[in-house]
Amino acid sequence: MAAKTAMVRDRNTIDEIDRGGGVVTRLFCNGGICGAEVTTGTTTIPVGRSVALHHHNCDEQIVILAGQAEAEFNGKRHPIGPMEVAFIPAGEVHCFHNVGEEPVLMLFIYDAAEVTRTFAATGETVVHLAAGDRAQPGA
């Protein structure tokens, strides 16, 4: 983990990570970047796309900044739109679907410096935003 350091990261220093299927994530801060004990960033999901069902090793909050989505957990889909928040406890299988007519932009906040994602369909666990962390496994 990096030493905790006050910083401003401008948009030119924040990498865009292609997660497949047009899904793009921008990682703002985590243990490795800022020494933070949280992980934050944004993910954009194109119209008609989803991320695969998965769970994390930590709690997650998602704030929808733009677009219309559905959060899927407990076998149900829940509408969520701009400035609405989904809270997903560690280990809870979930995913998000873009059900609107514009890209969904979501802010994510994980309560851990290092995050993993375990895909529900395969049980495979990957490090958050590593090469195997795709919006749809195998994509």
Which two structure tokens, joined as six digits, stand for 63? Answer: 């704030």
Whether residue 36 has pLDDT greater than 70 = yes
Please give the DSSP secondary-structure letter assigned to residue 75.
T
Can you give the pLDDT at residue 3? 87
Is 133 within a domain?
Answer: no
In order, the DSSP letters of 3-54 are PP------GGGS-EEE-STT-EEEEEE-HHHH--SSEEEEEEE-TT-B---E
Query: What pTM does this model have?
Result: 0.94
- Assess whether pLDDT exceeds 90 at residue 1: no
pLDDT in tens, 121-139: 999 999 999 989 999 986 5
The token pair that represents 96 in the structure block: 């998000």
**What value does the mean pLDDT take over residues 96-124?**
97
pLDDT band for 42, please (50, 70, 90 cuts): very high
| Residue 40 exposed, middle or buried by CB count within 10 Å (0-12, 13-18, 19+) | middle
As for how many domains the chain has, the answer is: 1
Q: Does 90 map to a domain?
A: yes
Query: Is position 72 within any domain?
Result: yes
pLDDT digits (tens, 9 = 90+) for 43-81: 999 999 999 999 999 999 999 999 999 999 999 999 999
Residue 101 domain-assigned? yes
Q: What is the pLDDT of residue 2?
A: 85
Would the pLDDT of 102 be above 90? yes
Residue 104 domain flag: yes
Residue 26: CATH number of its domain: 2.60.120.10
| The dihedral formed by the CA atoms of 33, 91, 127 and 61, expressed in degrees to the nearest 10 | -40
Q: Is residue 6 part of a domain?
A: no
Residue 134: inside a domain:
no
Domain span at residue 111 reads 18-127
Task: Map tokens 């865009």 to a residue.
Answer: 16
